[in-house]
A = this chain, B = another copy of it.
Amino acid sequence: MADFKVNILGCGSATPSLRHLPSCQVVDHRDKLMMVDCGEGAQLAMRRMRLKYSRLNNIFISHLHGDHCLGLPGLLSTMALHDIEGSVTVHTFEEGAELFLRIMNFFCRERTYELKFNIIRPENAIIYEDKSLTVETFPLYHRVPCVGYIFREKPKLRHINREMVDFYRVPVSMLHSIKEGADYELPDGTTIANERLTTPAEPSRSYAYCSDTIYSPRVAEAVKGVDIIYHEATYADAQADKARQRGHSTAGEAAKIALEAGAKKLIIGHYSKSYNDETQHLADARSIFPETIAANEGLTVDIT
Contacts and interface: CB of A to CB of B under 8 A. Distances in A.
B15 A65 contact: no
A269 interface: no
Nearest to A104: B66
A74 B40 contact: yes
Contact of A66 (B65, B70, B77): B77
Contacts of A44: 16-18, 21, 40-41
A15 B78 contact: yes
Contacts of A102: 99, 102
B16 A43 contact: yes
A131 interface: no
A77 to B, nearest CB: 5
A17 B47 contact: yes
A122 to B, nearest CB: 18
A92 to B, nearest CB: 13
Interface of A: 14-18, 21, 40-41, 43-44, 47-48, 64-66, 70-71, 73-74, 77-78, 81-82, 95, 99, 102-103, 106-108
27 contacts: A14-B81, A15-B43, A15-B82, A16-B43, A16-B47, A16-B74, A17-B47, A18-B44, A40-B43, A40-B44, A40-B71, A40-B74, A41-B41, A41-B44, A65-B107, A66-B73, A66-B74, A66-B77, A66-B107, A66-B108, A70-B73, A70-B74, A70-B77, A95-B106, A99-B103, A99-B106, A103-B103
